[in-house]
Amino acid sequence: MTLLGKGFFIDDLSACEGGSPAGLCSSARLAGLSHVVLRIADGLHPVGIDAGGTDVLAPVARALQAAGIAAWGWGTASGEMPQAEAALVVARVRDLALDGFVVRAGAGFEKPGRESAAWTYLDALRREVDLPVALSSYRFPKLHPYFPWAAFLELCDLHMPQVFWEHAHDAAAQLRESKRQCDALPNARPFVPTGAAYGPLGAWSPDRADLAEFLGAARALGLTAVNFFEWGSCRANLPELWQAVAAFRWQAGPFRPSQTETKAAPAAWAPGPQAEVPAPLPSAVQPVAPSEPDAFTIQFLTALNSRQPSRVTALYASGARRVRADRILQGKSAIQADYKAFFAALPPDEDIAILRVGIQGVVRYLSWQAGTVSGLTTLVVQDGRIVQDYTILE
């Protein structure tokens, strides 16, 4: 499979047309976008669920698809708990009925032994969802020899490197070099680059000429699609770049370049030792300030320490869902059976102690420990009942 056309990544939905599905669709259509990539997960944290427990991304994804614009998701992966991170992505992709997913991976996977984490993450994801998956990472693989490129690309359909030419204005040259290096990787996949449309960073920001050069070079290289990062920053701070993307007419279907158009950058050009800068960090999921346990949290903890699955499950709504690292449980009977196994796996003589509580509207973030076992639980509570539960063992 492949993508065709122009797309934009969205980091913070509220900063993009005020989060309005109609506004987003209108802007995307006017800009000639074929796809939009929504941020749905940050490691073990779901993204897009507001303090009231509402999934604000769902109406946006539906509206885009109804308008003929593909709705993809993206999320960061750390490599620390690959199965748990993949389980969260599976749940979000299913909730939103997305058309594809982009895993954004970086320095966390350059640590020793992370090749197996990369494979575990993608294997867990691919077993549960039948959608195209893309890798988003460094633009120059040669500068990152310890990143598990082969493991990631083995189970990905597309390669979406972050071709961000920060503190320079040589977008076409960097794009050509990125493609040359990515195409030489084991398990190389179709190249769908993401260009810089954010800023300013100090005195630097990409300019209109950069984007025209990037888009022109992409078409000359025969690429079927490109992306830009990031919608909110571009619209708010660099509207002329949004106009440049909108004005560029992307032909329908794959472009067929001549042999001379697909040559790599001249050998004289090469990135300097400091050229590979980190990708701009997304606006991180803001940590919720520690809170005192409220009445519901105390009730939940008391039920947990009773070790009675039925007593805990009584706190769940009839259609509730519980997401674990390796499975998703739907409905009270499935959740009750999971609690039976969960309690059996805990040290028998240790109470579950809450280490930290964060409360934001109807969402509760709990860090807990039972002897040598610890974990993180995120609960969405509505009308005194749990409707969503993400529980991950650390």
* Model confidence pLDDT, tens digit, residues 8-49: 999 999 999 999 999 999 999 999 999 999 999 998 889 998
Which of 262, 281, 313 terminates a domain? The answer is: 262
Residue linked to tokens 């941020």: 39
Task: Decide if 348 is inside a domain.
Answer: yes
φ, ψ of residue 46 to 5 degrees: the values are -70, 145
Q: Are 182 and 149 in contact (CB under 8 A)?
A: no
Domain count, the chain: 2
In the chain, DSSP finds a helix count (H) and a strand count (E) of 12, 16
Residue linked to tokens 């989060």: 19
Residue linked to tokens 């001549």: 258
How far, in Å, CA of 353 to CA of 374, rounded? 9
Which among 173, 237, 232, 248 has a CA at the least distance from the CA of 206?
237
- Per DSSP, the three-state class of 202 is coil
% residues pLDDT > 70 (the chain): 89
Please check the confidence at residue 274 and state whether its pLDDT lies above 80: no
* Model confidence pLDDT, tens digit, residues 309-357: 999 999 999 989 888 766 788 899 999 999 999 999 898 888 999 888 8
Which of 204, 239, 262 terminates a domain? The answer is: 262
Least confident of 79-83, 101-105, 266-270, 295-299: 266-270
List Cβ neighbours of 117 (8 Å cut-off, separation of 6 or more): 79, 80, 82, 109, 148
Least confident of 73-77, 193-197, 246-250: 246-250
Task: Decide if 39 is inside a domain.
Answer: yes
- The reply to whether 331 and 251 lie within a common domain is no
Question: Which pLDDT score, from 0 to 100, does residue 251 have?
Answer: 64
Which among 152, 219, 227 has a CA at the least distance from the CA of 188?
152
Question: Which pLDDT score, from 0 to 100, does residue 289 have?
Answer: 63
What would the DSSP string read from start to end of 6-39?
Answer: EEEEES-GGGSGGG-HHHHHHHHHHTTEEEEEEE
**How many C-beta atoms surround the C-beta of residue 131 within 10 A?**
18
Q: Which two tokens stand for residue 126?
A: 């691919």
Task: Decide if 275 is inside a domain.
Answer: no
- The reply to whether 71 and 153 lie within a common domain is yes
Q: Where are the beta strands (DSSP E) in the chain?
A: 5-10, 33-42, 45-46, 70-77, 100-105, 133-136, 158-159, 162-163, 194-196, 225-229, 316-323, 328-330, 353-360, 363-370, 373-382, 385-393
Task: Decide if 280 is inside a domain.
Answer: no
Q: Give pTM, 2 decimals.
A: 0.74
* Model confidence pLDDT, tens digit, residues 124-171: 999 999 999 999 999 999 999 999 999 999 999 999 999 999 999 999
Question: Which pLDDT score, from 0 to 100, does residue 252 have?
Answer: 46
Question: Which pLDDT score, from 0 to 100, does residue 272 have?
Answer: 42
**50: containing domain:** 5-262
